[in-house]
A = this chain, B = another copy of it.
Amino acid sequence: MVKTICGKKDFIEFLRGKRATFLLSVSVTKTIEIEGITQAGIPGIIDLTPTLDSEFVTIGEVRSLENIAETPNGVPTPALITRAIHLKKGFGNIEILNLGLTKNPKISHFKEYNFNLSPSQSIDKGANIDALELFEQGIEFGKKYNCRDDYIILAESVPAGTTTANATAKVLGYKTEGMFASSFKNSPSSLKEKVVDRALNNVNDDMNIFEKLGFVSDNMLIFNAGFIFGATLKYKIILAGGTQMATILLIMNSLLKIMGENYNLKNIALCTTKWVYEDKNSNIKGLLEQLSFDIDAYYADFDFSTSQHPALKLYDEGEAKEGVGAGGSLCYGLLNGVTEEEIIKQIEEFLS
């Protein structure tokens, strides 16, 4: 069952029975090189996580590495959830937005949009992103984007992405204390705070929004803020994710005044997991409530309580929580008659 975080259920009910394009936006930020900042991947090669996630969601195997990315605690990537949904109720299309990887996914036939972007730098030294240009690229791409299904589910795989999201929200002046989730059960909040503070030390009040974002944000957040402004003129978009997706909305909120009134944001909603919704260390609702426009947000009332698999139990204990569009995918499956039981059985099969 899909439950409402804020807004009304009409938006999500409208999508029931419809077919979605799953758009996976992937990028690397060198913020991952800060020891202990993320567990979204295999230590030493965390930069490969977005590449492996892209491969696994599309073709069901990882080609750029032998085993699928697991966290050090043995929590498997949420890409498993997304892939399981795809097997039970296929997305009409899966497409990759390559926003700066160290290694391109080895897949053919699937559309991969390439913008010749490099991984952004670590935000403790300055991300070094031309944010205005990237944002404009996003708008242009969004305006031209042709969706061959009924709507878009926009997902992400960006290790350390909750840290860059946290810095992004903070630099834009939003309340961020206790707001941001991470892939850890026990979020290393003091480390994260230190990194965010170091990042914010690189900016000053004379900078405009884009200059600030160029120092503390990541490619995925900035590009997608533009993409959504552009694509939502024609299409309904589900932001499939937690606090990172909420941060894209915060960026859009900050830019609304300079964007003028041609953009309506009635075509956007956010879908996340129950693990994010119930997370004690973050506050997705608190982030969304800072928006000056109304937003519909939902979570998939799905967990692994009926599963016996120890790696999956870790999700219920608060590890991983979200990513690779897991929450949005779960909502998609539930909206299309896939049962919790079928989903769990499929994921367990992957792990067996």
A residues neighboring B (CB under 8 Å): 8-11, 13-14, 16-19, 58-61, 86-93, 107-110, 148, 150, 335-338
A17 touches B90 (CB 8 A): yes
Instruction: Report A283 CB to chain B, min CB distance, Å.
Output: 27
Query: In the complex, A58→B89 CA distance in Å?
Result: 21
Q: Contacts A9-B59, A59-B9, A108-B8: A337 and B14 contacting too (C-beta < 8 A)?
A: no
B337 touches A13 (CB 8 A): no
- Which DSSP category, helix, strand, loop or mixed, fits chain A's interface? loop
Query: In the complex, A16→B60 CA distance in Å?
Result: 11
Q: Contacts A9-B59, A108-B8: A89 and B14 contacting too (C-beta < 8 A)?
A: no
Can you report 21 residue pairs joining A to B where beta carbons are below 8 Å apart?
Answer: A9-B59, A10-B58, A10-B59, A10-B107, A10-B108, A10-B110, A11-B109, A13-B58, A14-B110, A17-B19, A17-B86, A17-B89, A17-B92, A17-B93, A88-B337, A90-B335, A90-B336, A90-B337, A92-B150, A148-B150, A337-B338
The contact of A90 among B18, B92, B108, by CB within 8 Å, is B18
Neighbouring B residues of A88 by C-beta, 8 Å: 337
Residue ID in chain B nearest A338 by CB atoms:
B337
Neighbouring B residues of A59 by C-beta, 8 Å: 9-10, 13
| Extra contacts besides A10-B110, A18-B92, A337-B338 (20): CB < 8 Å | A8-B108, A9-B59, A9-B60, A10-B59, A11-B109, A13-B109, A13-B110, A14-B58, A14-B110, A16-B86, A16-B87, A17-B89, A17-B90, A17-B91, A18-B90, A18-B93, A90-B335, A90-B336, A92-B150, A148-B150
Query: In the complex, A86→B335 CA distance in Å?
Result: 9
Query: In the complex, A17→B16 CA distance in Å?
Result: 16
Query: In the complex, A336→B336 CA distance in Å?
Result: 12
Neighbouring B residues of A60 by C-beta, 8 Å: 9, 13
Residue ID in chain B nearest A90 by CB atoms:
B17
Query: In the complex, A315→B20 CA distance in Å?
Result: 37
Instruction: Report A234 CB to chain B, min CB distance, Å.
Output: 13
Instruction: Report A67 CB to chain B, min CB distance, Å.
Output: 18
A14 touches B109 (CB 8 A): yes
Interface centre among A58, A109, A110 (most CB of B within 10 A): A109
